[in-house]
């Protein structure tokens, strides 16, 4: 049981978290943008999240919080 | 008070230590090297830091770092070295840091020579680095004044949070005279509201910085500084007026040149010529009120400088070109003699 | 559930101005995590460079000083010499540290200044729009090497860790990268080690971090990481170049 939270207004949509996720459950929004206009990252299958925090470690903007 | 016979450069160093200077960062250059050598001997014993930097650029930036933590910091150099320090001095001014910089001037431009000069007047008072800023410039004319002005420079730099310079020359640096040292209270300025010494979790972090990317913010920071400059102009000008009340010809000179000129003024008086001397002790701010007072009865002014004529600009501005201002100068390390100056007094009309 | 990963306290809660995918943010976070873990934020003074990270003073929670271009090690020297009990670090890019600031870098190292230098090598001047840096690779296209860096014209890249490891005053020099999670973990260990070296008064430490500049490289952030792996690491091998603390341990 783990939870990934993206602080969407801090996300710049760079996609580094997408490549870092070992479970391949992080992707960038294709329709919704944040206020700055970025397609932000989100977890597509929270049940599969193992809370490894690799996405957060790769995030250059400290936009991801992990709970476990 | 105890009096010691000291060389100008060494007196500058001793005065700084007594004024609570906690660190000296230098780089060897003639004719100020004795200052660094004295610091190397004395500073550690006095509980401070002496460090020979890899360049004048590094030295002034070490001063920037030390001053950022609120300690009294100093560097010294001679003319070519000041050109290198100018970047750091601009940053120090832009970061509102107090620091003392000593220039024991030599001839220029370029590598120039190693004999005394006053050709860095423009650099010191007008453009010591890029941007809208000033630094206080003190011009001693004796070894005792070197001591007194170093003490004052540290105090005023702290008071106004801006750099201050002692603009000396090779003649004063190498000269030996008796000096006494005043009582000093170096801890009279509280810097805890801005110094970067680690917040210990007890306050917001302090930022020492000269970068303002928004034009209105940069304008405000410069304008705030200029309000302090206005106070400095109002309160900190200083000059010696010698035999000026009735003078027909007013000689203007600073630093070592003023000593030569004083001899010439005395000789002129002995010969019945009403000569007087105006000697600015602060070059920025320039003592405009004092000059106008000194020049009130004079028919003519004569600026004597060890340069091709730099202070003469400020003299003309200060009196609004209301009277003729003549010039006599030697440059390249040549020191004018009293006889030459006297001859010039007679030539420009002082004998009338 | 408990929070297992979040912004370190020594990194102030403000958005970075960096471009999307710029790895400055990762390195900032690692430095802040080390300050948190060692509990030294309140005893630390950081010195920023000129370059993209010029405004790092807005991000780090410790006291900060903004230095003239290349002069951060001299500024840090002034801080450390007058405040030897404080932790002092500089954060500098490749133009700042290895071009205009080479003298300050080399001499603070050879003096054994007890400071930490975090050196971001991304082979380009970022802030000014992508000109050749001292670390730009042979053949690399930049604004000022439009046909690729030709060593016959523009000389060869500087390998900073190798150079500084020859100096007696250097206590610790390691090159790391932030292209992957394992490498990021290594990078953090190196930064921690550098601050521990300062704590133990061993002398000058430098951690060179191979980093990216997607914007000026003309690559996506993900492609930029690949370039770092494929082109930079072979030219700038990762690893410990000097560690006097290890030498003592071996005795």
Chain A hits for C21, Cβ within 8 Å: 12, 14-16, 60
Q: Does C99 fall in a domain?
A: yes
> Given pLDDT bands bounded at 50, 70 and 90, which one contains residue C250?
very low
Q: Does C247 fall in a domain?
A: no
Does pTM surpass 0.90? Answer: yes
pLDDT of B72 strictly over 80: yes
Is the minimum CB–CB distance between B209 and chain C shorter than 8 Å? Answer: yes
DSSP B172-228: HHH-EEEE------TT-S--TTT--S--TTSSPPPEE-----SHHHHHHHHHHHHHH
Is the minimum CB–CB distance between B65 and chain C shorter than 8 Å? Answer: yes
- Cα dihedral sign, B309-B350-B168-B148: negative
Residue-level pLDDT at C251: 39
Q: Does C195 fall in a domain?
A: yes
Which residues lie below 8 Å from residue B219, measured CB to CB, with a gap of 6+?
A: none
Chain A hits for C23, Cβ within 8 Å: 60
Give Cα B46 distance to the centre of its chain.
25
Kindly state the percentage of chain C with pLDDT values over 90: 97
Tokens 């903007």 — which residue? A61
Contact assignment for B64 to C75 by CB distance below 8 Å: yes
CA distance C103 to chain A (A): 31
Domain encompassing residue C39: 24-127+134-242
Q: What is the pLDDT of residues B95-105, one digit of tens each?
A: 999 999 999 99
Chains that touch B (3 or more CB pairs under 8 A): C
Chain C hits for B25, Cβ within 8 Å: 78
Chain B hits for C105, Cβ within 8 Å: none
Q: What is the pLDDT of residues C112-152, one digit of tens each?
A: 999 999 999 999 999 999 999 999 999 999 999 999 999 99
- For the residues A8-31, what does the mean pLDDT come to? 97
Q: Does C201 fall in a domain?
A: yes
Separation of alpha carbons A17 and A60, rounded Å: 9
Chains that touch C (3 or more CB pairs under 8 A): A, B
Q: Does C250 fall in a domain?
A: no
Q: Does C116 fall in a domain?
A: yes
Chain C hits for B88, Cβ within 8 Å: 68, 71
Is the minimum CB–CB distance between C246 and chain B shorter than 8 Å? Answer: no
> Given pLDDT bands bounded at 50, 70 and 90, which one contains residue B351?
low
Separation of alpha carbons C14 and C33, rounded Å: 16
CATH number at residue C83: 3.40.50.970
Residue closest to B324 by CA, chosen among B336, B332, B316:
B316
- For the residues B205-223, what does the mean pLDDT come to? 97
> How many structural domains comprise chain C?
1
Nearest CA in chain B to C57: B207
Q: What is the pLDDT of residues B26-59, one digit of tens each?
A: 999 999 999 999 999 999 999 999 999 999 999 9
Q: Does C54 fall in a domain?
A: yes
Is the minimum CB–CB distance between C17 and chain B shorter than 8 Å? Answer: no
CA distance B230 to chain C (A): 27
- For the residues A31-47, what does the mean pLDDT come to? 97
> Given pLDDT bands bounded at 50, 70 and 90, which one contains residue B118?
very high
ipTM summary value: 0.97
Q: Does C230 fall in a domain?
A: yes
């Amino acid at each position: 049981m783990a939870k990934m939270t993206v602080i969407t207004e801090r996300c710049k949509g760079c996609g580094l978290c997408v490549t870092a996720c070992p479970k391949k459950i992080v992707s960038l929004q294709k329709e919704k943008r944040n206020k700055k206009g970025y397609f932000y990252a989100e977890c597509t299958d929270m049940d599969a999240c193992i809370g490894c925090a690799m996405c957060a470690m790769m995030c250059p903007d400290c936009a991801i919080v992990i709970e476990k | 008070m105890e009096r010691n016979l000291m060389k100008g450069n060494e007196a500058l160093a001793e005065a700084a230590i007594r004024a609570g200077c906690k660190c000296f960062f230098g780089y060897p250059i003639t004719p100020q090297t004795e200052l660094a050598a004295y610091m190397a001997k004395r500073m550690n014993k006095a509980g401070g830091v002496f460090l020979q930097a890899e360049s004048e650029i590094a030295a002034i930036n070490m001063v920037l770092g030390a001053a950022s933590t609120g300690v009294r910091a100093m560097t010294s150099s001679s003319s070519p070295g000041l050109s290198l320090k100018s970047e750091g001095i601009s940053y120090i001014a832009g970061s509102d840091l107090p620091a003392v910089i000593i220039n024991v001037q030599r001839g220029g431009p370029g590598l120039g020579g190693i004999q005394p000069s006053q050709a860095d007047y423009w650099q010191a008072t007008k453009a010591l680095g890029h941007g809208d800023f000033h630094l206080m410039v003190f011009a001693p004319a004796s070894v005792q004044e070197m001591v007194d002005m170093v003490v004052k420079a540290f105090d005023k730099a702290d008071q106004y949070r801006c750099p201050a310079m002692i603009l000396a020359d090779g003649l004063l640096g190498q000269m030996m005279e008796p000096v006494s040292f005043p009582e000093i209270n170096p801890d009279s300025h509280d810097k805890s509201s801005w110094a970067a010494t680690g917040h210990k979790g007890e306050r917001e972090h302090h930022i020492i910085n000269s970068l303002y990317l928004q034009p209105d913010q940069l304008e405000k920071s410069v304008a705030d500084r200029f309000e302090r400059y206005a106070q400095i102009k109002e309160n900190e000008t200083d000059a010696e007026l010698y035999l000026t009340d009735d003078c027909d010809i007013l000689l203007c000179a600073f630093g070592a040149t003023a000593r030569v000129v004083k001899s010439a003024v005395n000789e002129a008086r002995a010969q019945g010529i009403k000569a007087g001397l105006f000697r600015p002790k602060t070059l920025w701010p320039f003592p405009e009120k004092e000059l106008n007072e000194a020049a009130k009865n004079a028919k003519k002014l004569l600026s004597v400088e060890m340069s091709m004529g730099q202070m003469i600009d400020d003299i003309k501005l200060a009196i609004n070109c209301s009277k003729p201002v003549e010039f006599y100068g030697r440059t390249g390390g040549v020191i004018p003699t009293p006889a030459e100056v006297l001859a010039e007094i007679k030539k420009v009309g002082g004998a009338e | 559930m408990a929070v297992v990963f979040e912004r370190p306290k020594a990194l102030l809660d403000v958005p970075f101005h960096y471009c999307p995918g710029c790895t400055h943010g990762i390195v900032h976070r690692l430095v802040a995590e080390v300050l948190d873990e060692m509990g030294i934020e309140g005893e630390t003074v950081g010195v920023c460079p000129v370059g993209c990270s010029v405004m790092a003073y807005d991000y780090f929670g410790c006291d900060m000083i903004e230095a003239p271009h290349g002069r951060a090690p001299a500024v840090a020297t002034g801080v450390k010499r007058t405040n030897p009990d404080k932790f002092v670090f500089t954060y500098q890019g490749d133009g700042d540290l290895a071009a205009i600031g080479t003298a300050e870098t080399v001499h603070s190292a050879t003096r054994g200044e007890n400071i930490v230098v975090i050196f971001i090598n991304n082979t380009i001047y970022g802030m000014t729009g992508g000109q050749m840096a001292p670390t730009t690779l042979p053949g690399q296209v930049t604004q000022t090497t439009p046909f690729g860096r030709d060593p016959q014209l523009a000389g060869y890249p500087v390998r900073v860790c190798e150079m500084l490891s020859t100096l007696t005053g250097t206590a610790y020099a390691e090159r790391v990268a932030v292209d992957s999670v394992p490498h990021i973990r290594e990078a953090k260990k190196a930064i921690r080690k550098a601050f521990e070296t300062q704590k133990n008064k061993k002398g000058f430490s430098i951690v060179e971090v191979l980093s990216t500049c997607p914007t000026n490289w003309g690559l996506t952030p993900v492609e930029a990481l690949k370039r770092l792996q494929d082109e930079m690491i072979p030219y700038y091998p990762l690893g410990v170049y000097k560690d006097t603390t290890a030498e003592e341990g071996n005795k």
